[in-house]
Amino acid sequence: MTKKVSKSKKARNYRSEYKKYHSKKTQKKNRAGRNKANRLMKRKKRIRKGDGRDVDHRDGNPRNNSPKNLRIVPKSSNRKKKTKRRKK
């Protein structure tokens, strides 16, 4: 089975996306903070790989890994959650 791509949709350019967004210093620090929170919860046996749950930062700041700020939620609700955008 092959996936049909509609003509109106362009293929996603991951290289330029990384160059414009993911390679920024602040985004790397945010990603490191999210990974750290994930490792903490795995060590505490609160989540496991493939269990369908995510670590949610209550205040939306991925660098704030205090235990009061972290909670376990289903992946579907965490991915739907609107993030607070900071004003530049």
pLDDT per position as a tens digit, 36-79: 999 999 999 999 999 999 999 999 999 999 999 999 999 998 88
With tokens 């990384």, the residue in question is: 18
* Residue 53 belongs to a domain: yes
Tokens of 80: 């739907």
Q: Which of 26-30, 42-46, 78-82 is least confident?
A: 78-82
* Residue 68 belongs to a domain: yes
73 or 84, greater pLDDT: 73
- Looking at the structure of the chain, the number of domains it has is 1
Distance between CA atoms of 70 and 56, rounded to whole angstroms?
6
Band of residue 7 on the pLDDT scale cut at 50, 70, 90: low
* Residue 43 belongs to a domain: yes
* Residue 65 belongs to a domain: yes
* Residue 22 belongs to a domain: yes
Range of the domain at 30: 17-80
* Residue 8 belongs to a domain: no
User: pTM score, two decimals?
Assistant: 0.72
* Residue 87 belongs to a domain: no
Q: What is the pLDDT of residue 56?
A: 93
